[in-house]
Structure 1
Amino acid sequence: MNLKRVLIFTIIFSLIVSLIVDFGRTRAENEYDTVEFVGDLKSLKDFASFTGEDLKSILTKMKEAGMDGVAVNEVTLESLQQAGKISVSLLKDVENLYLLSGNLGNLALEDYLKGLSTKDIEKYSNYIVVSTKNANTFKFLKEALTKRVSPKDLIILSKGNDFAFIINKPKEVFVTKGLGFDENELFYIKSLGFDLIPRVENFTGIKDRDITEYVSILKKYGVRTVIFNGTDVLGNPEKISYAASLFKENGINVGIIDVPMGKKLQEGMSKFAKFTGYRGIKVYGLSEKETQKYDWEEIVNKWFRGIIERNVRIIYVRAKIDDSKSHQYNIKENIAMIKDATDYIKRAGLKVGIAKPLPEVHQGKFIEVLISLGVVAAGLLILELFGVSIRLLAILGIIGVIGVSGILMSRFNDLGVKTVALAYSIVFPSLGIAYYVNRLDEFLKGKGENNFVWHALKIFFISLAISFAGALSIGAIMADSKYMLKIDYFRGVKFSFILPLIFYVFYYIWRVYETHNFKAFWSKIKEFLDLDLKVWHVMAFVIAAVAGILYISRTGNEPIIKPTELELKFRDFLEHTLIARPRTKEFLIGDPALLIGLYTVLKKFNGWAFVAGLLGSIGILSITNTFSHVESVLIIAIERTLFAWVLGALIGLIGIWLLSKILKNTKKEY
């Protein structure tokens, strides 16, 4: 058996292992099939106030529309002040008021101010002053503030029925910090039949007993899922393991807020999720500002996109208020948002109800090594195309297998997995591109003219299938809970987009112009540089440059140039029609260009073959990019790829038919 056959057999073997892993991943994703709409209680309170209806009426209507959960935030100084239970000011303002009126209506606070010197007042001028006459509120605040503020920064005052606190904290920040839950709210939401989802908030200096108290409250009200509020998780940084162990012991799930790639998760989320056995549910919601910015239809589309493309299973709902519309219209549209999204979800084959965590998914290191063999073998096949000797290929193969296996079996496994995934996203599209260029070269040399459509479609599907094989392997080696929940993610998107295109240019010159050594290659480059430029050359260069800038700026997880409104509408149409929306760059540009490129060669207009092949390479490499978004459901990724192939082939054949008509009518030949 020659080396090339060994390499092909290795790729097939690795692909079989990948398919087995992918099947297991799909089973886990199929169990993660229920979407839950969770309303933000504060937002719903504001909405009830705006409409003039009582909160219970609003909650009942939203529940009937399909909202199963309600998220309850911890009490804050700000919320207590809005409820009229406390007064919050700065000490300097309280002092000025006392000097003017001589009466604050709070004897405890007045006695405190009488004991301050002018120097003390100046020193404490920006301290927070909280005053109340409610004994229950005082008791709640005394317990909460004692835990969260050091003794040197907190003064507690009481006299009769007058109570006050002096707090050395920045007002604008501290008034929004969580101070614990109002159990009356928790009981009320639970009594209405909602899935209660507390927004637990961490604080500096939290102790084991504080975490135990939180968990006791969660158990008391039968809480299934918690979404942490603020910038970090409960117990961060020293007490994460203790908090997570209690969550795991009591079967409490964690809502993992979906953030754009490259943006930070809540501090400590990666550790917390790992300690809980990845009992995680992905959460997506628009901010208050975004909710008011978008119209009702676009909000629903964004929810649906998160569900389909990013595997979100909790939609965090904030009520949208349009001041220009009537109260009844606002109620009707907010209810319609839930109902419309529910219809879309059911059409996509998902359920609406109480969200369940993603089953834990991990791969053994040995399985990862077997999957990685495929990319090593594919890399050697590419080198073989350039005439590298069998002896050198064998040496490089041994080094590659030992090196990759060593990293994957070591404590640097995470780095190894990401490196292998990146290699798959570059090597397999390049191998597909090489196959296409080889067939293109055969057409240039006069082969394939008989039964063109059959030959062209065969080349089309094989080129794409080679990249698809690499994509399935990416989906397998990154089939792990931390990637599927987007706690961690694929790295190197820009490289996976650019390097295969560079490979195409290099290999096209190498193969088509037979520049099989550096001297011949450089000679061909010089020949190109010595061309007499015409106006159309400059125009073509400018167009290509602009296209290249647009292409690069719109790749990756945070594109510099956002899609236009028309594009978004078109995407929405495809998402609601096909569910698994094929990527525009594939079915409208890349895939059709593969067929059109072959046709231009058939008609002897060889100059355009290079350009069409370059565009076609985008369709080939885009496949692995789709699968590198591991948070997306694998079946959806497969379906959207296959849809792109079918649509791309149809558009390409239509393009060929139109070109043939144009050529026939103008009597011109490429």
Structure 2
Amino acid sequence: MNFMKSRYNPLLLAVIVIGLVSALWLNVVRHDVEQKNNTVEMAMEYEGLRKLAALQGLPEEDVLRQFKDAGINSLMIFDTTLERLTKNGEIQTVTGGELRQAAALGSGMGVFANVGVGDVEENAAYVAATDKQSVLDDVEQDLCLRYGAERVKVVSENPRIIKIKGSTTLLPDGKYDEPQGLLQAPLGLPVQDMRKVAALGFKIIVRPQNYVDVTDEQIDSIFARIKEAGVPVDALMPCGTEVVGYPNKMQHLGERMQENNMTLVMLEHYTQLQFAKIDGLLPLAEFNDYKAARSYVIDPTEQKKISVGEALRRWALTDEERNIRVNYIRPFLMPEGGQDIMKTNLKYVRDIKASVEARGYTIGEAGVFSAENKDGFAPYFPAKVSFIPIVLAIAAGVVLYLALLFNLGGKQQIALWAIFSAGALALLFIGRGLFTRQLLALAAASVFPVLSMNVIFNIWDKNTSDKHNLLAICWNGIWQLALAIALSLVGAAFLSAILTDSRFLLEIDIYRGVKLTFILPVMLTAVLFMKRYDLLQVVGKGLKTLWERLNGLLDTEITFRHVAVLAVLLFIAYYFVGRSGHTGGVPVPAIELKMRAFLEQLMYARPREKEFMIGHPAFFVAVLAVYRCAPRWWQFVLTCAAVIGQGSLVQTFCHMRTPVVMSFVRALDGYAVGVVFGVIAVLVLGMLLPLVVKFRRRYLEE
């Protein structure tokens, strides 16, 4: 009886088909949610542009207008500081040490001559107004909120001078591992700055820092300051190592953000996995009902090492591949291409904008993942009921694989399927069901590539001749690989559907089985192949025979050849697994980086090297081995290598931040390039093998 027909239960196949229809529907809905999220915000720091204007000796407003015309539509406003306000001429500030030195030298102290001798302290700062009394009022309020009224004292009423106790030591730029003194510590959002940038037509992203022992009053002061400025603020991006409200007032901040219809901007980690280390970020996203946008910035240390062109290439990919919706752009502070800093950065911004628009995005307020809702926003969380057919289908796939290994009868398969399904559904509906969904995704990613290869085994078993020409073998490789990919993509559809929601799309939750998804398909395929073709010659002979075979393998005398083969396999495993994920640590060769850049320019979605350089060429060589009747052990090794490609294309869908259509297209692009590499491999080996055989017979067997 046909191997496939004797093992594949028609009822379970029907369950998989129904589950696939449901999964495809959820993927279509996901695609619709992703398509609506098509607006990218181009943001820079207001202080960064101020610095650029000072470096170039240009009027600040002229610089701001030029960058707005180039494509920047949002500016980031941080909490101001006494140092910054003093440099800008908005307040006057001196330290206690400076007052004592001036008194000793008999120098004039200006307005601060009104400070009594008894009020002068070394570790204190003294603040007075210039011509902007409202700024001093805000500063006094901020100082009280930051440090408490007991550390703030009015030492003169006319003119009004405020004393604040604390260290006045200044830290150099970039020194973040020591506490900041009074002059550099954050105060509050600057009203004048918000008004200025809004008047020039920019959107505003505020970046307030957390308070010590934060209270509702302190959080409310942020929104009171925005109201005082009288300008619209669309987004809040945390600054520092904690979100405002951490650890126990984040819900209040989230509620205030919802009241003001503000988006939470979440900065991606420099490893491109989840987010920068900011305590309270993920809970705040939940409290803001997942109205959040992912942001990317090139790390300052890294930016100093790369060219403008290399930076531009990264921006061209980031929005589309990782659902980045706030491009956080830092200026280059060294000129390039014979242009001054200003022209260098204006061109940089214009080119980023052009690359964003060329990929179909519009420049505006950062897009968010939103389901259909009459109020304009609702987080995307499919009803758990919609997962039921997918759960049943994944359980069916697992049972089909087990049936291939253990010769399960039809009733046994149905009973096992019912048990697996009931258990998975019960766990799914308890709480969030996150772990269950992760486990189901791992099962789909691991089992369906193996089932796909089993269908190919059935096709290969029909071959009875070793006389096929190379062109026929290439054609068989082309259509059989296409079939294998199509069947593997069934598992990818299940994985994508079972994990789809706002948390996964934002990468708040991530798929945890990335490395297992690479390893398990290879292991499961190896076990299936050995069982199917009885490589150890133990099928039907009992556990005693299996134990004897294994003991025999362990008693094998180790030779240099064994050691060399083992070393090669270990290196391949290290490279294969180490290159997976974001923190494997295996470096990427320069030539491979160049090839990646070429494929990124050539194709919509750059295919993965594990597919077109390893898995798919190995599939073609396996076809060659089958149709030339090579020994089973050679077929076994090549098949295990071939399934790497199938597992890799399914694993692509584990990156839920990548648009689902891009993941499907990436699989097709991998197939296209893999066919080229595979055909070349077959033709080269097909021509070389006869020569090797001839050489061996002539010289090695004499």
**Structure 1 Cα separation of the partners of residues 595 and 348 of structure 2:** 20
**Structure 1 Cα separation of the partners of residues 388 and 575 of structure 2:** 37
**Structure 2 Cα separation of the partners of residues 570 and 589 of structure 1:** 15
Q: For residues 46 and 60 of structure 1, do their structure 2 counterparts lie closer, same or farther at Cα, with a shift above 3 Å needed?
A: same
Superimposed CA distance per residue, residues 56-94 of structure 1 (whole angstroms, 9 cap, x where no aligned partner): 2222222222222211212023433544645576x7x66
User: Which stretch of structure 1 is more off in the superposition, 558-567 or 1-10?
Assistant: 1-10
Q: For residues 108 and 139 of structure 1, do their structure 2 counterparts lie closer, same or farther at Cα, with a shift above 3 Å needed?
A: farther
Alignment of 1:29-108 (within 5 A): 29-83=34-88, 85=91, 87=93, 97=101, 101=105, 105=109, 106-107=112-113
Superimposed CA distance per residue, residues 513-550 of structure 1 (whole angstroms, 9 cap, x where no aligned partner): 15435444445545555555554443332222122112
CA drift at 1:313 = 1.2
Match of 1:148 in 2: 146
CA drift at 1:364 = 0.8
From 352, 355, 364, the counterpart of 2:366:
355
Match of 1:226 in 2: 236
Alignment of 1:526-545 (within 5 A): 526-529=551-554, 535-545=560-570
Q: For residues 101 and 113 of structure 1, do their structure 2 counterparts lie closer, same or farther at Cα, with a shift above 3 Å needed?
A: farther
The answer to whether the Cα contact below 8 Å between 1:226 and 1:252 also exists between their aligned partners in 2 is: yes
Superimposed CA distance per residue, residues 157-188 of structure 1 (whole angstroms, 9 cap, x where no aligned partner): 44654735333579643455432222221111
Q: Structure 2: any 5+ residue segments left out of the alignment?
A: 170-177, 371-378, 697-702
AA paired with 2:12?
L
CA drift at 1:271 = 3.1
From 492, 501, 525, the counterpart of 1:471:
492
Determine whether 1:616 maps to 2:642: yes
Partner secondary structure for residue 67 of structure 1: coil
The answer to whether the Cα contact below 8 Å between 2:189 and 2:222 also exists between their aligned partners in 1 is: no
Determine whether 1:373 maps to 2:392: yes
**Structure 2 Cα separation of the partners of residues 480 and 669 of structure 1:** 60
CA drift at 1:286 = 1.8
Superimposed CA distance per residue, residues 380-417 of structure 1 (whole angstroms, 9 cap, x where no aligned partner): 01100112433543333222111111111111422222
From 354, 364, 367, the counterpart of 1:343:
354
Q: For residues 412 and 350 of structure 1, do their structure 2 counterparts lie closer, same or farther at Cα, with a shift above 3 Å needed?
A: closer
Match of 1:285 in 2: 297
CA drift at 1:155 = 4.8
The answer to whether the Cα contact below 8 Å between 1:142 and 1:156 also exists between their aligned partners in 2 is: no
Identity percentage over the alignment?
24
CA drift at 1:272 = 2.9
AA paired with 1:625?
Q
CA drift at 1:245 = 2.6
Alignment of 1:384-399 (within 5 A): 384-390=403-409, 391-399=411-419
Q: For residues 212 and 526 of structure 1, do their structure 2 counterparts lie closer, same or farther at Cα, with a shift above 3 Å needed?
A: same
Determine whether 1:594 maps to 2:619: yes
From 303, 310, 324, the counterpart of 1:312:
324
User: Which stretch of structure 1 is more off in the superposition, 385-394 or 475-484?
Assistant: 385-394
Determine whether 1:194 maps to 2:214: no
User: Which stretch of structure 1 is more off in the superposition, 358-367 or 387-396?
Assistant: 387-396
**Structure 2 Cα separation of the partners of residues 500 and 508 of structure 1:** 12
**Structure 1 Cα separation of the partners of residues 278 and 125 of structure 2:** 30
Partner secondary structure for residue 522 of structure 2: helix
Superimposed CA distance per residue, residues 544-601 of structure 1 (whole angstroms, 9 cap, x where no aligned partner): 2122112222112322123233323322222232131111211122112111112123
Match of 1:491 in 2: 512
**Structure 1 Cα separation of the partners of residues 695 and 456 of structure 2:** 23
**Structure 2 Cα separation of the partners of residues 669 and 289 of structure 1:** 56
The answer to whether the Cα contact below 8 Å between 1:240 and 1:271 also exists between their aligned partners in 2 is: yes
**Structure 2 Cα separation of the partners of residues 109 and 75 of structure 1:** 25
Match of 1:646 in 2: 672
Superimposed CA distance per residue, residues 317-367 of structure 1 (whole angstroms, 9 cap, x where no aligned partner): 1111116886x4322322222222233323323223333222131111111
Coordinate RMSD, CA, aligned = 3.2
Partner secondary structure for residue 681 of structure 2: helix
Count how many residue pairs are aligned between Structure 1 and Structure 2. 656
CA drift at 1:619 = 0.6
Q: Structure 1: any 5+ residue segments left out of the alignment?
A: 117-124
Partner secondary structure for residue 173 of structure 1: coil
**Structure 2 Cα separation of the partners of residues 520 and 454 of structure 1:** 41
Q: For residues 330 and 521 of structure 1, do their structure 2 counterparts lie closer, same or farther at Cα, with a shift above 3 Å needed?
A: farther
User: Which stretch of structure 1 is more off in the superposition, 369-378 or 80-89?
Assistant: 80-89
**Structure 2 Cα separation of the partners of residues 128 and 588 of structure 1:** 65
Determine whether 1:566 maps to 2:578: no
The answer to whether the Cα contact below 8 Å between 2:468 and 2:628 also exists between their aligned partners in 1 is: no
CA drift at 1:466 = 2.6
The answer to whether the Cα contact below 8 Å between 2:384 and 2:429 also exists between their aligned partners in 1 is: yes
**Structure 2 Cα separation of the partners of residues 387 and 447 of structure 1:** 31
From 342, 347, 366, the counterpart of 1:331:
342
Partner secondary structure for residue 38 of structure 1: strand
The answer to whether the Cα contact below 8 Å between 1:86 and 1:131 also exists between their aligned partners in 2 is: yes
CA drift at 1:638 = 0.9
AA paired with 2:434?
D
CA drift at 1:372 = 1.4
**Structure 2 Cα separation of the partners of residues 281 and 7 of structure 1:** 41
Partner secondary structure for residue 581 of structure 1: coil
From 110, 117, 121, the counterpart of 1:111:
117
**Structure 2 Cα separation of the partners of residues 465 and 324 of structure 1:** 48
Partner secondary structure for residue 179 of structure 2: helix
Q: For residues 86 and 420 of structure 1, do their structure 2 counterparts lie closer, same or farther at Cα, with a shift above 3 Å needed?
A: farther
Q: For residues 507 and 112 of structure 1, do their structure 2 counterparts lie closer, same or farther at Cα, with a shift above 3 Å needed?
A: farther
**Structure 2 Cα separation of the partners of residues 616 and 540 of structure 1:** 19
CA drift at 1:654 = 2.0
**Structure 2 Cα separation of the partners of residues 421 and 169 of structure 1:** 54
TM-score by length of 1: 0.89
Match of 1:185 in 2: 193
AA paired with 1:254?
L
AA paired with 2:397?
A
Partner secondary structure for residue 562 of structure 1: coil
The answer to whether the Cα contact below 8 Å between 2:468 and 2:627 also exists between their aligned partners in 1 is: yes
The answer to whether the Cα contact below 8 Å between 1:76 and 1:177 also exists between their aligned partners in 2 is: yes
**Structure 1 Cα separation of the partners of residues 509 and 40 of structure 2:** 22
**Structure 2 Cα separation of the partners of residues 337 and 5 of structure 1:** 59
The answer to whether the Cα contact below 8 Å between 1:15 and 1:469 also exists between their aligned partners in 2 is: yes
AA paired with 1:461?
A
User: Which stretch of structure 1 is more off in the superposition, 412-421 or 632-641?
Assistant: 412-421
Superimposed CA distance per residue, residues 18-75 of structure 1 (whole angstroms, 9 cap, x where no aligned partner): 1111101101111111222111111112222222222222222222222222112120
AA paired with 1:253?
T
Partner secondary structure for residue 656 of structure 2: coil
Q: For residues 104 and 379 of structure 1, do their structure 2 counterparts lie closer, same or farther at Cα, with a shift above 3 Å needed?
A: farther
Q: For residues 210 and 348 of structure 1, do their structure 2 counterparts lie closer, same or farther at Cα, with a shift above 3 Å needed?
A: same
Determine whether 1:547 maps to 2:555: no
Partner secondary structure for residue 334 of structure 2: coil
CA drift at 1:640 = 0.7
Q: For residues 104 and 299 of structure 1, do their structure 2 counterparts lie closer, same or farther at Cα, with a shift above 3 Å needed?
A: farther
**Structure 1 Cα separation of the partners of residues 462 and 664 of structure 2:** 31
AA paired with 1:70?
L
Partner secondary structure for residue 635 of structure 1: helix
Determine whether 1:662 maps to 2:692: no
The answer to whether the Cα contact below 8 Å between 2:267 and 2:276 also exists between their aligned partners in 1 is: no
User: Which stretch of structure 1 is more off in the superposition, 143-152 or 378-387?
Assistant: 143-152
Match of 2:254 in 1: 244
Determine whether 1:633 maps to 2:659: yes
